[in-house]
Amino acid sequence: MDKLSIQGGQPLKGEITITGAKNAALPILCAGLLSAEPVTLRNLPDLQDVRTILKILAQMGLKGTFPNPENRSVVILDGSDIHTPEASYDLVKTMRASILVLGPLLARFGHAKVSLPGGCAIGARPVDQHIKGLKAMGADIHIEHGYIEAKFGKNPNALVGAKILTDMITVTGTENLMMAAVLAEGETVLENAAREPEVTDLAELLIKMGAKISGIGTDRLVIQGVKKLHGAEHSIIADRIETGTFMCAAGAMGEIGADLMIKNARPDTLEAVIDKLREAGLQIELGKDWIHVKMSQRPKAVSFRTSEYPAFPTDMQAQFMAMNAVAMGTSRVTETIFENRFMHVQELNRLGAQIVIEGNTAITEGVDGLSGAIVMATDLRASASLVIAGLAAQGETIVDRIYHLDRGYDRMERKLAAVGANIVRMK
């Protein structure tokens, strides 16, 4: 099993290029199921989760071709020969996002069979909102033997537009229902819709494919169904979480120093994170598609609560905690999205951090320095926080189980090594 060895205490200086967003790529790849015509995607990240979803889609008959096999950032999807509208457990169990095939399969083919998903162990992510929305659009849905089986119900020819109010804001729920609604008969209104940039990115691709969607970027999406979608070309949005992760790494370096030019970024999707990093003491300059960060002093502790976009993202919570571990002062971080998202705390404490958990709040007393140790990644963002802590710590840190990291970061160790970090991958 791969591990990372990090010799901490090295300044970070140079350029880092951000890849496409994992959380935009997964639904966008599933959108390839909605059309029989080719969909060309650019800026695709080469991640384990992306490879898994491509395997799931290939099992159904959706072909993904890389024009240049050496470059996996451009893929052409061909959905003209879907033969099995089914996603089996053996692949779905590794990632929850595979539920995103349900809406497009049902909308285009009239039936779908999808295994209940797995993925990171960070708490409940109910698929009941997806099911509730599809039922409102007339689908007939049963859960048997661990599979969701869905088919057209009251209308044998198509899903039917409906007004859907979800009980909670759900990103994948919004994406699934939006993909289903674009081929439904009539108008669908999604109330309480997620506003994340990744949802907007999916909507923009669907519009290029011929969908009629208004209200993009708001919590009320109005979708006029069309008979069919055509092919399109689309470049996937830059990964705001990867961007934020490297900015936190710069912040955690404190007096060791960091001077990073982050390219191919989208600062406009990271306002809450940038505000908090400035509060921590980072010097930040912004361009349209770049961010320049400098750090030369110990960071100041920053407190926040996670919430849905445009508030502070849950996917940045662990990385900030790594920076808070070496900051001046005490911080309080309240997690409101996932109930089991503090698994990195005990690992950070192994490196010398002083963090205690009270319910859904983690209280961090900043320490003068961390010291290297063997730690274990427990989920995707937790593993990124351990890498950040390892970069700031004295001595060697070994981060085990980095398959979690590979699910969401495209060769993170290479990018860090290129800006001065002493980090290597080991078996």
pLDDT of 263 > 60? The answer is: yes
Residues 162, 154: Cα–Cα separation, whole Å: 13
Is residue 135 very low, low, confident or very high in pLDDT (cuts 50, 70, 90)?
very high
Q: How far is CA 285 from the centre of its chain?
A: 25
Closest among 11, 119, 54 to 381, alpha carbons compared? 119
Before 310, cis peptide (omega within 30)?
yes
pLDDT digits (tens, 9 = 90+) for 149-202: 999 998 999 999 999 999 999 999 999 999 999 999 999 999 999 999 999 999
Q: Tell me, what's the pLDDT at 378? A: 92
pLDDT of 118 > 70? The answer is: no
Name the more confident of 51 and 120: 51
What is the three-class DSSP state of 420?
coil
Across the range 199-223, mean pLDDT stands at 98
What is the three-class DSSP state of 130?
helix
Across the range 354-378, mean pLDDT stands at 97
Q: CB under 8 Å to 161, separation ≥6 — which residues?
A: 137, 181, 184, 185, 186, 187, 188, 223, 224, 225
Counting residues of the chain whose pLDDT is more than 90, the rounded percentage is 91
pLDDT of 144 > 90? The answer is: no
Across the range 403-416, mean pLDDT stands at 94
Is residue 224 very low, low, confident or very high in pLDDT (cuts 50, 70, 90)?
very high
Mean pLDDT of the chain: 95
Residues 129, 264: Cα–Cα separation, whole Å: 34
Residues 138, 186: Cα–Cα separation, whole Å: 12
Find residue 286's DSSP bridge partners.
Answer: 291
Give just the sign of the alpha carbon dihedral 57, 220, 244, 374. Answer: negative
Q: Tell me, what's the pLDDT at 121? A: 56
Q: Tell me, what's the pLDDT at 119? A: 58
- Tell whether pTM > 0.85: yes
Residue 227 and residue 3 in contact, taking contact as beta carbons nearer than 8 Å: no
- DSSP H helical ranges for 253-362: 271-280, 317-325, 344-350
Q: Residue 38: which H helix or E strand, with range?
A: none
Q: Tell me, what's the pLDDT at 106? A: 98
Q: Tell me, what's the pLDDT at 125? A: 59
Q: Tell me, what's the pLDDT at 381? A: 94
Residues 136, 177: Cα–Cα separation, whole Å: 10
Residue 253 and residue 391 in contact, taking contact as beta carbons nearer than 8 Å: yes
**163-202: buried (b, 16+ CB within 10 Å) or exposed (e) per residue?**
ebebeebbbbbbbbbbbbbbbbbeebbbebbbbbbbbbbb
β-strands 111-115, 86-87 pairing: parallel
Catalytic annotation on 120? yes
pLDDT digits (tens, 9 = 90+) for 227-237: 999 999 999 99
pLDDT digits (tens, 9 = 90+) for 91-107: 888 787 889 999 999 99
pLDDT digits (tens, 9 = 90+) for 296-349: 999 999 999 999 999 999 999 999 999 999 999 999 999 999 877 899 999 999
- C-alpha dist (Å) from residue 38 to 76, 80, 122, 335: 6, 8, 36, 41
pLDDT digits (tens, 9 = 90+) for 284-295: 999 999 999 999
Across the range 19-33, mean pLDDT stands at 98
**Out of 120, 160, 205, 387, which one is annotated catalytic?**
120
Q: CB under 8 Å to 358, separation ≥6 — which residues?
A: none
